[in-house]
A and B are shown apart, each in its own frame.
Chain A
């Protein structure tokens, strides 16, 4: 017999061929398992967005859970015609912003030491392999830059979608990306 968690996942897989809008409608029609497919589809991207924004694996996990929970509760408010990915990323990003502002209440700085208690990103950059070097360099960027880098380069989202998620003009997104790359170039030099 399947363990309950495995049985749940296999039940969710019956909806894998459907597009996001159909899955949302199916979930709203009472087949909540369809939402499981959306979780499966976006779990990784949402977690990575939270991880890069918060730089704390444990908090990123909590923020991802919070985002999906809010999305599930507010599924009825999802506007047909809009993209589910934009919506879930937007919820996740706002959850991260709330957590960052809560952190800032305790400290003026963003407390990067929470994510990496070791001496600091710059010191280790040279010692790590290519992927780790890049990740460490991204983590050393200011929050607004590392979020756009994560969404554009790592998740492959378009400027328009990033602008909608972050509620910024598209020009600002492009500027953030440009400056983020300048920062990265200096960090990796």
Chain B
């Protein structure tokens, strides 16, 4: 059992201070009644595009699963593409291309203002 002394009793009798006016409203305003972020509006073209892409994806997946000939053709095409990429001349061309991009990206391409010569000078 707790024993309370005079300090305890005085502290227990001390009322809590009133919060400032408007605190609750300001809390509610940033929590419960905070405006919800607007959903990004998607236009008709985006909707149609996404729909077509999804339909193509479903069709492609179904064709690969259901049609063995189609699946073989796709697989053969991928293998041929990979073999073409793996050829030394192709790899050399790719390496040169990427090197060129890298070198250009390192160049300090700053815009220099053109000096204008006035008539009076």
Contact = CB atoms under 8 A, between A and B. Distances in A.
Interface residues of B, number: 23
B28 interface: yes
Given A43-B27, A65-B26, A8 B33 contact: yes
Contacts of B31: 32, 35, 39, 68-69, 72
A48 B30 CA distance: 20
Contact of B14 (A32, A65, A154): A154
Interface residues of A, number: 37
B17 A181 contact: no
Interface in A20-47: 32-33, 35-36, 39-40, 43-45, 47
A115 to B, nearest CB: 13
A113 interface: no
B14 A39 contact: no
Given A44-B19, A181-B8, A184-B7, A36 B14 contact: no
Interface stretch (A93-101, A128-136, A163-171): A128-136
A53 interface: no
B117 interface: no
Given A134-B11, A153-B12, A48 B17 contact: yes
B7 A68 contact: no
B25 interface: yes
Contacts, number: 85
A36 B28 contact: yes
B23 interface: yes
B16 A155 contact: yes
B10 interface: yes
A64 B25 contact: no
A84 B30 CA distance: 19
B24 A149 contact: no
Interface of B: 5, 7-8, 10-12, 14-20, 23-28, 30-33
16 contacts: A9-B28, A39-B28, A39-B32, A43-B24, A48-B17, A57-B20, A61-B23, A64-B19, A65-B23, A135-B14, A153-B14, A154-B11, A155-B16, A181-B8, A184-B11, A188-B7
Interface of A: 5, 8-9, 12, 32-33, 35-36, 39-40, 43-45, 47-48, 51, 57, 61, 64-65, 68-69, 72, 130-131, 134-135, 138, 149, 153-156, 181, 184-185, 188
Given A36-B28, A44-B19, A47-B19, 20 more contacts: A32-B31, A36-B32, A43-B19, A43-B27, A44-B18, A47-B17, A47-B20, A47-B23, A51-B17, A61-B19, A61-B20, A68-B31, A69-B30, A130-B10, A131-B15, A135-B17, A138-B11, A156-B12, A181-B8, A185-B7
